[in-house]
Structure 1
Amino acid sequence: MIMKQQLELLKEIEHKLEELSKDKDLKEKRPLEVKEVKGLRLVVSSIIRRMAAS
């Protein structure tokens, strides 16, 4: 049960990071930070896949 809750939280975080990385205003003002957010989203996505596989 706890694992399912953690997966849901990670999916929510992944979704919010994706939204943030698509923010046009942020892309214009902080392009390097947007790249970091995209990288962080990939890390979260990888964690989700690993947790789902176990």
Structure 2
Amino acid sequence: MEGKVEKMNQPNPGIKCVVNTCHYYSSGDHCTASKIEVQPRNANSNDETDCATFTMK
């Protein structure tokens, strides 16, 4: 992912995240990242995708 993602003071609407070990996780299963990136290109199923924005707390 290009550049550092900004951590917002409020949840990013429309993004649900249950990964409570992520730097951008907010209680209530919200994501406070200003943007997310899901990879890889040409995935064929949800099992092949991951959140490239994930950063460990």
Please give the TM-score of this superposition, normalised by the length of structure 1: 0.21
> Which is higher, the Rg of structure 1 or of structure 2?
1
Please give the TM-score of this superposition, normalised by the length of structure 2: 0.21
Higher normalized helix content (fraction of residues)? 1
